[in-house]
Amino acid sequence: MHYHNLILPNNYINNEWATSKQSLAVYQKYTGELLANVSIANEKQVDMTLQTSHESFKIFKKFSVEKRAAILTQLHGLLKQHKDAFADLITAEAGKPIHYAQNEVQRALHNLEDGIRQTYIFSGHQISMDYLNGKGKTAYTIRVPAGPVLGITPFNFPLNLALHKLIPAIAVGAPIILKPAPQAPLTVLALANLLKQTELPKGSVNILLTTNELTQKMLEDERLRVFSFTGSDRIGWMLKNKAYKKKVFLEMGGNAATVIDASADLKRAAKKLAYGSFLYAGQICISSQRIYVVNSVFDKFLQLFLKETSAIKSGKPFDPDVVNSSMISDNDVRRIDKWVKEAVEDGATILCGGQILDEKANIYAPTILTGTNDRMKVWQNEAFAPVVLIESAPDFKTAVRMANNSRYGLQTAVFTNNFDQVLYAQKEIEAGAVIVNDIPGFRIDSMPYGGIKDSGVGREGAYYAMHDYTDPKLMVLST
């Protein structure tokens, strides 16, 4: 494996490696091998991080567009040199199948390319003033960085979701503190090795693992002006309440629904949904979790879906053919196993799976349930596991209502070849995005990605996040 040279067990504060007495063990998710004992930043180090971010802002906000774009270009080149090692590290610490980890690194490179483009073209706009007492005046806005950013990232895309915080911060000249998920912090810390080789000003990017209490202290500090969080809705809303006057952006997942109409290409839908339901053990914010099929094609689609699911390979994440591998922890495996058992006790039927395949490696079987209802945890909550529900609906409009029966609203998919139903879905579906004839897990990193309801507020994608990280300053010129 190529990842061993990337492992950095220390925090990155003010362009230096910082150690501390307290540490956290990080394990290879499939084998249980110890990867590293990572330092947990103490209160003094957190205070230093806050101060260096504050001081760096005075310098970084004055960097030219050319300088900021050059830094992102340098980071892109360095990541490209080490792309195989980063993919291996993601697979090791996050349990992600290797082909999907390689895809994450490639997406990260495209994400950086988009950030470079957006850095050059990002701007305010001219405002019409030639009416009333504005006649004779010229007005326009410029975008200025709001201030230092705190970014909290999850385990499931340890590289690319960190870059979704980092890229817009660098692009607009805002210092950022990144706190990675404790389940998989090594990839983000390895990124510090690359950042140290760029022309970033001292203290403009700090990366540290710390306690929940000290994270809250950072969140409450008035020197930080922006808070960007990706993770669970329970944690995200709780932290939002503590952010006080900060600009807050939350991406908190969901239990993505798919609606399948009689006019759909059922074979294509079944193949795509089997992959989109069980890829990476369903540990993706937009994994397919609930499928609603109109009655007239339910039986036909179900047989196709069961056949495609039976072809999903589970096992070692470094096997290029594996789709479903280790969940992030034994607690999560036990949790989903309990949820499935509770659903069965409440009337659900297991059509396939429904058991732990490998206790030592934390692998849960690809599972399909039917006969579910909205009282069940597997319906109410984000499963973040290889479990999908499938139910029939009398017609397309009813299926849409069933899809909307959720406290989440991130992305919803619709398989149909009826244009009227596409328009109906556009109007009626309650989600941040409607994906037509593809899975809800479709994403291009430059698109505005985010949800409504309990799925969060704000949008990711370099252009959109750059707006979130900046404020408009109005200029009015009298002639």
Mean pLDDT of 213-222: 96
Q: In sequence order, what are the beta bridge partners of 38?
A: 24
| Span 147-174, pLDDT tens digits | 999 999 999 999 999 999 999 999 999 9
Which CATH fold topology does 4-252+455-478 show?
A: Aldehyde Dehydrogenase; Chain A, domain 1 (3.40.605)
CATH 3.40.605.10 residue spans of the chain: 4-252+455-478
Give the pLDDT confidence score for residue 358 in this predicted structure: 97
Which residue, among 44, 249, 293, has the nearest Cα to 161 in the 3D structure?
249
Mean pLDDT of 108-133: 96
| Span 229-253, pLDDT tens digits | 999 999 999 999 999 899 999 999 8
Sequence-separated (6 or more) residues with CB below 8 Å from residue 207: 11, 12, 177, 178, 179, 180, 188, 189, 191, 192, 195
Within its chain, how far is the Cα of 229 from the centroid? 9
Could you tell me the pTM of the whole model?
Answer: 0.96
Q: How confident is the model at residue 5 (pLDDT cuts 50, 70, 90)?
A: confident
Sequence-separated (6 or more) residues with CB below 8 Å from residue 14: 48, 49, 52, 202, 203, 206
DSSP string, 62-89: T--HHHHHHHHHHHHHHHHHTHHHHHHH
Mean pLDDT of 434-462: 97
Task: Please say whether the beta carbons of 348 and 368 come within 8 A.
Answer: no
Task: Please say whether the beta carbons of 129 and 137 come within 8 A.
Answer: yes
Alpha helices (H) along 358-460: 377-380, 396-404, 419-428
Mean pLDDT of 112-138: 96
Our answer to whether residue 285 is catalytic in this structure is yes
Give the pLDDT confidence score for residue 475 in this predicted structure: 97
Give the pLDDT confidence score for residue 1 in this predicted structure: 61
Q: What are the tokens at 319?
A: 């096997």
Q: Per-residue b/e over 353-385, b at no fewer than 16 CB within 10 Å?
A: bbebbbeebbbbbbbbbbbbeeebbbbbbbbbb
Alpha carbon distance 150, 164 (integer Å) = 12
Give the pLDDT confidence score for residue 198 in this predicted structure: 98
The answer on pLDDT for 142 being more than 90 is yes
Which CATH fold topology does 257-445 show?
A: Aldehyde Dehydrogenase; Chain A, domain 2 (3.40.309)
Give the pLDDT confidence score for residue 237 in this predicted structure: 95
Give the pLDDT confidence score for residue 4 in this predicted structure: 85
If phi over 0 gives left and psi between -120 and 50 gives alpha, with beta otherwise, what is residue 191? alpha
3-state DSSP assignment of residue 420? helix
The answer on pLDDT for 446 being more than 70 is yes
Our answer to whether residue 251 is catalytic in this structure is yes
Give the pLDDT confidence score for residue 390 in this predicted structure: 98
Q: Check 251, 308, 382, 460 and give the catalytic one.
A: 251
CATH 3.40.309.10 residue spans of the chain: 257-445
Q: How confident is the prediction for the chain on average, in pLDDT?
A: 97
Mean pLDDT of 466-471: 97
Q: Check 55, 93, 285, 308 and give the catalytic one.
A: 285
